[in-house]
A = this chain, B = another copy of it.
Amino acid sequence: MEFMIKTMIDDNVFRSKFIELREQVTEILASISGCHGFDHTERVLNNARLIAKMENAPDIQIIECAALLHDIGRSEEIASKGKHCHAAFGAKIAAAMLEKMRFPEPFAIQVAECVRKHRYRRGVQPETLAEKIVYDADKLDSIGAVGIGRAFYFAGREGAVLHNSAAEAMAAPEYSHGDSAYREYLMKLRHIEGKLLTEAARKLAAQRAGFMHDFFEQLNRETDLK
């Protein structure tokens, strides 16, 4: 059985603290446009609430805070050109913010762990249900219509090609001229459904993944590419 400290705050106290926390996060993420701005965080928060409900997760307060804070280290990662990992760095910022706002320490620790583990890397993987839900909520925002939109948005921002063939896409390095939305789909997005950790997220992902698949089929038909 997994080890977990149950930490619940009085709901009224939590709601008022959460509003304040949300305002701080909005301000911090305001400078980040597009794929990882506050709108992404808001969608991840909505996804996390939905998955938590479907999974009957007990730690809804931790999940909500972690979803809100999951990308809080993003601007440090951008500023350091990838040297700082936004998940590891964000976990520290998240813990500091919650402590400053007098959230209980065990609560802050669990939120920070969700933030640290939302980016699946070797040796760092979600273990508790709360950690799995935050991870899945973030991944869910990379697929479906939102995922398609984000992939083309990224290509436009980086000046990559609008579309290319599967062979061209697979041969292109990251951040290159060939780093198209189709490359993102072939290399990452189409594999996400199979990497989700909760039953609820897999259920929500199925339709989105199929939709995304149909989209690129249609794009290939319209452009005469494969």
A residues near B, CB below 8 A? 33-35, 37, 39-40, 43, 46, 144-146, 148-159, 161-163, 181, 208, 211, 215-216, 218-219, 222-224
User: Distance (Å) between the CB of A33 and the closest chain B CB?
Assistant: 5
Q: Are B219 and A145 within 8 A (Cβ)? A: yes
A149: chain B residues within 8 A (beta carbon): 148, 152, 162-163, 181, 219
Q: Which residue from B33, B34, B156, B218 sits with its C-beta under 8 Å from A154?
A: B156
Q: Are A218 and B153 within 8 A (Cβ)? A: no
For the residues of A in contact with B, the DSSP-based class is helix
Q: Are B218 and A162 within 8 A (Cβ)? A: no
Q: Are A163 and B39 within 8 A (Cβ)? A: yes
Q: Which residue from B153, B158, B162, B181 sits with its C-beta under 8 Å from A162?
A: B153
A65 to B152, CA, bound (A): 30
Q: Are A156 and B39 within 8 A (Cβ)? A: no
Q: Which residue from B146, B153, B223 sits with its C-beta under 8 Å from A156?
A: B153
List 22 A–B pairs whose Cβ atoms lie within 8 Å, in order of A's numbering.
Answer: A34-B156, A34-B159, A35-B162, A37-B162, A39-B161, A39-B162, A39-B163, A145-B222, A148-B148, A149-B152, A149-B162, A149-B181, A150-B162, A151-B152, A152-B152, A152-B153, A152-B156, A153-B153, A155-B156, A156-B156, A157-B159, A208-B222
Which residue from chain B places its CB closest to the CB of A208 in the assembled complex?
B222
Given contact pairs A39-B163, A43-B222, A150-B162, a sample of 4 additional A-B residue pairs in the complex whose CB atoms are under 8 Å apart: A35-B162, A145-B216, A146-B162, A148-B152
A222: chain B residues within 8 A (beta carbon): 43, 144-146, 208
User: Distance (Å) between the CB of A164 and the closest chain B CB?
Assistant: 8
User: Distance (Å) between the CB of A45 and the closest chain B CB?
Assistant: 11
Residue from the set A156, A159, A161, A219 with the largest chain B CB neighbour count within 10 Å: A156
Q: Are A218 and B156 within 8 A (Cβ)? A: no
Which residue from chain B places its CB closest to the CB of A152 in the assembled complex?
B152
A163: chain B residues within 8 A (beta carbon): 39, 146, 149
Q: Are B145 and A218 within 8 A (Cβ)? A: yes
